[in-house]
Amino acid sequence: MNFIVSSTSLLKNLQNISGVLSTNNTLPILDNFLFEIKENELTISASDIDTTMQTTLEVEANESGKVAIPAKLLLDILKVLPDQPVTFLVDKNTYGIEISYDNGKSKMSGYNGDDFPKSPEMENGESIRVSGEIISKAINKTLFATGNDDLRPVMSGVYCQFSPSELIFVATDAHKLVRYKRTDTQATGSSSFILPKKPLNLLKSNLKGDEEILIEYTSSNAVFTFNNIVLLCRLIDGKYPNYEAVIPRENPNVLTVDRLQFLGSIKRVSIFANKTTHQIKLKIAGSELSLFAEDIDFSNESFERLTCSYDGEDMEIGFNSRFLMEMLNNIETPEIKIMMSVPSRAGLLVPASTDNPDEDILMLVMPVMLNR
């Protein structure tokens, strides 16, 4: 089995899917790329069992076949080759691989392609077509709020709720929560599933934003097909917490403030906050917002004052400054609103205005108890 392919084109395709490769694979075969050729089309797969990515490209080939090629070695040689056609010669009996190029050749040992894990069949699943811009935005807005607790795996992914009226994406780690809604795309039926973090990061790095994605999903797997890439992942098994129940309904105290000014103040003041709690105190009275942080152990403290628009009773409330900064970085509008009830209940962050009526984003942050 032999084939000829452009070195640059092959490298680009391999780099697109190489993020799947894991450094601590239980199966040695997963340290390889699977190359499969059918009628001048090369399909390359990379997998870590839970997530598999495939890409296809045109090659000149004389026959069909498959072989597993060591991933690191192949990437390393392609990275230092100038753009040129390279010829792969594969011995079907020993799986030895010879790569010939302009001024030389390299040899390596490959493996039987049949040993590579098979992708699960997607039977009786549902599907939906979504623009890459929507998925890309949903990932960017929610991924930072996912948890890292191994004891609660359901909270380490993004919860997707598809219905005939809207698509909802939710992420929470019990301290902060983000709900991102789109009403400009609908599914045919109602279903929900939890996508793990790794495939979401891989999607994020491969999406350009102008493509259409076909999403197919069953109770255990999801497949994303776009451009010349197929990403298949195992879903997180479990019941997602009732996120609607933690979003406070009555929030009479509403603060409207310039997002970048507020973010700048938090960045400066939080430098002097306690390194364990990252606590900053907001004191709101009339049209004045004061930010205060202190670290008693080192006698550090900082204070800043901002003008704001506030409708409600005077209030002092504490928040984790890192959570606030993450949220403010993921909202794009010039002004934001923080809606609160009492200092012991969660505050809601929302954009003060919207350019897109089909988009709705809500962020929730739990308060930190203030030391009196």
Domain positions in the chain:
2-115, 126-167+184-238, 247-365
DSSP state of 157: S
Question: Which tokens is 264 given?
Answer: 């700048």
What is d(CA 202, CA 27) in angstroms, rounded to the nearest whole number?
21
What is d(CA 119, CA 99) in angstroms, rounded to the nearest whole number?
28
Residue 74, phi then psi, degrees to nearest 5: -65, -45
Question: Which tokens is 36 given?
Answer: 């499969």
- String of DSSP letters for 235-296: PPPSPPP-GGGGS-S---EEEEEEHHHHHHHHHHHHTTS-TTT-EEEEEEETTEEEEEEEEG
**247-365 is classed CATH 3.30.390.30:** no
Orientation angle between helical segments 132-142 and 197-206, nearest 10 degrees: 130
Q: What is the pLDDT of residue 216?
A: 94
Q: What is the pLDDT of residue 333?
A: 95
Superfamily name with CATH number, domain 2-115:
DNA Polymerase III, subunit A, domain 2 (3.10.150.10)
Q: What is the pLDDT of residue 24?
A: 87
Global pTM?
Answer: 0.93
Reported as half-sphere exposure (CB side, CA atoms, 13 A), residue 194 has a value of 17
What is d(CA 141, CA 209) in angstroms, rounded to the nearest whole number?
14
Fold of 126-167+184-238: DNA Polymerase III; Chain A, domain 2 (3.10.150)
What is d(CA 23, CA 7) in angstroms, rounded to the nearest whole number?
25
If phi > 0 it is left, if psi is from -120 to 50 it is alpha, else beta; for residue 208 that is alpha
Q: Is 298 helix (H, G, I), strand (E, B) or coil?
A: helix
Taking 70 as the pLDDT cut, the residues of the chain under it are 371-372
Q: What is the pLDDT of residue 123?
A: 83
Q: What is the pLDDT of residue 201?
A: 96
Q: What is the pLDDT of residue 371?
A: 66
Q: What is the pLDDT of residue 80?
A: 95
Q: Return the HEC string of 320-332.
A: EHHHHHHHHHCCC
